[in-house]
Amino acid sequence: MTTHKNLLGGPEPTYLPENEEAYRLLGEESQPPAEVAAKHPTFSLAWAMLADDAFEAGRVVESYAYARTGYHRGLDALRRAGWKGHGPIPWDHRANRGFLRCLAALARAAGEINEKDETERCWQFLKDSSVEAYTELKR
């Protein structure tokens, strides 16, 4: 991974650590996201998958809860990785995608339960963190 010098003086991008075991369980072993979340509760991608599955099944409040859990676990991981509350969280880094997907899922579910301020805050946070993720996930 190449790190470029930030010419604008803002914070450097934050790259979350990879969790190869959790990816292996989801991929090679085809374990359900709920089992992966139970074994690796800090792995935001499993929470994002649960949120997406619940939303698609019409279980919006459940989706909101899964997304909120993954979002907060992701914030904890970002802080441990040196993030200071703002700055780029690149979409092209695989380990960042779980958090970014949880953020989008939270915005989407909040919109469905008419939590307007939370919806707007989450979409803006996503856009500020990664325009690429915002473009990909705001459908």
Q: What ranges in 33-115 are assigned the alpha helix state H?
A: 33-39, 44-56, 60-80, 97-112
Distances (CA, A) of 22 to 4, 62, 66, 84, 116: 29, 22, 17, 26, 33
pLDDT grade for 8, boundaries at 50, 70 and 90 = low
Per-residue pLDDT reduced to its tens digit, 60-83: 999 999 999 999 999 999 999 999
Confidence of residue 2 (pLDDT cuts 50, 70, 90): very low
pTM here is: 0.92
Region of residue 18 (phi > 0: left; psi between -120 and 50: alpha; otherwise: beta): beta
Give the DSSP per-residue string, 93-124: SGGGHHHHHHHHHHHHHHHHTT-HHHHHHHHH
